[in-house]
Amino acid sequence: MSTDPKAGPSVARARVPLVAKERATPAQLAVWDRIAQSRGRVAGPFAALLHSPELARRIAETGHYVRFEGPLTQAERELAIITVARVFDAQYEWAAHAVLARKAGVRDEVIAAIRERRAPAGLTPAEAQVFAYANGLLREHRVSDEAFAALQKRFGLQGLVDLTATIGYYAMIACALNAFGIEPAFSEGEPSQGSPSPSGGEPLLPV
Structural domain spans, the chain: 17-69, 74-179
pLDDT for res 204? 76
Cβ-contact 102, 112 below 8 angstroms: no
Report the top-level CATH class of 74-179.
Answer: mainly alpha
**pTM confidence score:** 0.88
Please say if the pLDDT value at position 193 is more than 70: no
Structure confidence by residue, pLDDT tens digits, 105-162: 999 999 999 999 999 999 999 999 999 999 999 999 999 999 999 999 999 999 999 9
Task: Give the pLDDT band (50/70/90) at residue 7.
Answer: low
Structure confidence by residue, pLDDT tens digits, 32-79: 999 998 888 898 999 999 999 999 999 999 999 999 999 999 999 999
pLDDT for res 126? 97
Across 14-49, b (16+ Cβ under 10 Å) vs e yields: beeebbeeeebeeebeebbeebbebbebbbbbbbbb
184 φ, ψ to 5°? -80, 150
CA 17/CA 183 separation, integer angstroms: 13
Please say if the pLDDT value at position 6 is more than 60: no
Cα angle 168, 164, 11 (rounded to 5 degrees) comes to: 35
